[in-house]
A and B are shown apart, each in its own frame.
Chain A
Amino acid sequence: MSFSTFIQHCLTGISLGGAYALISIGYTLVYGILLLINFAHADIFMMAGYFMIFAMASFPWQVAIPIVILATVVLGVVIERVAYKPLRNAPRMSVMISAIGVSYLLQNLATYLFSALPQGYPTIPPLKKVIQLGSVTTSLVTLITPVLTILLVILLMLLVRHSKFGMAMRAVSKDFETSQLMGIKINRVVSYTFAIGSALAAIGSILYFTDRMSVTPFSGTMPGLKCFVAAVLGGIGSIPGAMIGGFIIGITETFLVAFGYSTYSDAVTFLFLIIILIVRPTGLLGEELTEKV
Chain B
Amino acid sequence: MPVNKHRKLSPVLSLAVILLLLIFLIVLEQHQASNRMVVAVLQKGAILAVAAVAMNLPNGFTGIFSLGMAGFMSIGAYITAILTIPTDTIESVYYISGVAGWVMSIKRALDGLPQPLLVLVALLIGGLVASLFAFLIGIPVLRFKSDYLAIATLGFSEIIRALVASPQLDRVTNGSYGLKNIPGFATASGSGALLIPFAIAAVCIFIMVLVINSSYGRAFKAIREDDIAAEAMGINLLKHKELSFVISSFFTAISGGMLAMYMRSIDSKTFQVSLTYDILLIVVIGGMGSVTGSIISAFLITASKEWWLRFFDQTLYIGNWQVPLLRTGFRMVVFSVLLMVVVLFYRRGLMGDREFSWEDILGLPRRWRRRRAVTAAARADAAEAKDGGKHDA
> A residues within 8 Å of B by Cβ?
31, 35-37, 83, 86-87, 90, 92-94, 96-98, 100-105, 107-109, 111-113, 115-116, 218, 221-222, 225, 228-229, 232, 263, 266-267, 269-270, 273-274, 277-278, 281, 293
Known contacts A93-B63, A112-B329; is-contact A37 B344 (Cβ 8 Å): no
Instruction: Give the chain A neighbours of B280 by CB distance below 8 A.
Output: 97, 100
Answer whether residue B48 sits at the interface, using C-beta atoms and an 8 A cutoff.
no
A266 close to B162 (CB less than 8 A): yes
Instruction: Give the top 8 A-B pairs by smallest Cβ distance, nearest first.
Output: A112-B329, A270-B155, A105-B336, A263-B166, A108-B332, A267-B159, A101-B339, A101-B340
Known contacts A104-B336, A104-B339, A263-B167; is-contact A37 B147 (Cβ 8 Å): yes
A267 close to B162 (CB less than 8 A): yes
Given contacts A35-B147, A96-B147, A274-B140, 16 further A-B contacts (CB under 8 A): A37-B147, A83-B344, A87-B344, A92-B146, A97-B343, A100-B277, A100-B280, A104-B281, A108-B329, A108-B333, A109-B333, A222-B158, A263-B163, A270-B159, A277-B152, A278-B143
Partner of A112, one of B146, B159, B166, B330: B330
B151 close to A112 (CB less than 8 A): no
- Nearest residue in A to B345 (C-beta to C-beta)? A86
Q: Which of B67, B272, B277, B280 has the most CB of A within 10 A?
A: B277
Q: Which of B155, B330, B332, B335 has the most CB of A within 10 A?
A: B155
Known contacts A93-B65, A263-B167; is-contact A112 B328 (Cβ 8 Å): yes
B140 close to A101 (CB less than 8 A): no
B155 close to A269 (CB less than 8 A): yes
A101 to B339, CA, bound (A): 6
Shortest distance between the CB of A277 and any CB in chain B (Å) = 6
B273 close to A221 (CB less than 8 A): yes
B340 close to A105 (CB less than 8 A): yes
Partner of A101, one of B147, B273, B333, B343: B343
B343 close to A98 (CB less than 8 A): yes
Instruction: Give the chain B neighbours of A267 by CB distance below 8 A.
Output: 159, 162-163
Instruction: Give the chain B neighbours of A100 by CB distance below 8 A.
Output: 67, 277, 280
- The A/B interface has a contact count, at CB < 8 Å, of 119
Binary per-residue interface labels of chain B (229-268) against chain A in the complex, 1 for a CB within 8 Å, 0 otherwise: 0000000000000000000000000000000000000000
Instruction: Give the chain A neighbours of B61 by CB distance below 8 A.
Output: none
Answer whether residue B228 sits at the interface, using C-beta atoms and an 8 A cutoff.
yes
> B residues within 8 Å of A by Cβ?
59, 63, 65, 67, 140-141, 143-144, 146-148, 150-152, 154-156, 158-159, 162-163, 166-168, 228, 272-274, 277, 280-281, 284, 288, 327-330, 332-333, 335-337, 339-340, 343-344, 347
A108 to B335, CA, bound (A): 9
Interface of A is mostly: helix
Partner of A273, one of B63, B151, B328, B333: B151
Partner of B146, one of A83, A96, A108, A281: A96
A104 close to B155 (CB less than 8 A): no
Instruction: Give the chain A neighbours of B332 by CB distance below 8 A.
Output: 108, 111-112
A30 to B235, CA, bound (A): 34
Partner of B154, one of A225, A263, A274, A277: A225
A274 close to B141 (CB less than 8 A): yes
Instruction: Give the chain B neighbours of A228 by CB distance below 8 A.
Output: 151
Shortest distance between the CB of A211 and any CB in chain B (Å) = 21
A215 to B140, CA, bound (A): 35
Instruction: Give the chain B neighbours of A293 by CB distance below 8 A.
Output: 228
A156 to B388, CA, bound (A): 65
A232 close to B146 (CB less than 8 A): no
Instruction: Give the chain A neighbours of B166 by CB distance below 8 A.
Output: 263
A277 to B151, CA, bound (A): 12
A225 to B333, CA, bound (A): 23
Q: Which of B67, B151, B284, B335 has the most CB of A within 10 A?
A: B151
A277 close to B150 (CB less than 8 A): no
Instruction: Give the chain B neighbours of A277 by CB distance below 8 A.
Output: 140, 143-144, 148, 152
- Nearest residue in B to A35 (C-beta to C-beta)? B147
A258 to B262, CA, bound (A): 40
A108 to B156, CA, bound (A): 23
Question: What are 30 A-B contacts defined by CB distance under 8 Å?
Answer: A35-B147, A37-B147, A37-B150, A83-B340, A92-B146, A92-B147, A93-B63, A93-B146, A96-B146, A97-B343, A98-B344, A100-B277, A104-B281, A105-B333, A105-B336, A107-B274, A107-B336, A108-B332, A108-B335, A109-B333, A112-B332, A113-B329, A225-B155, A232-B151, A263-B168, A266-B162, A270-B159, A273-B155, A274-B140, A274-B141
- Nearest residue in A to B338 (C-beta to C-beta)? A101
A155 to B273, CA, bound (A): 36
Known contacts A105-B336, A108-B336, A277-B152; is-contact A225 B158 (Cβ 8 Å): yes
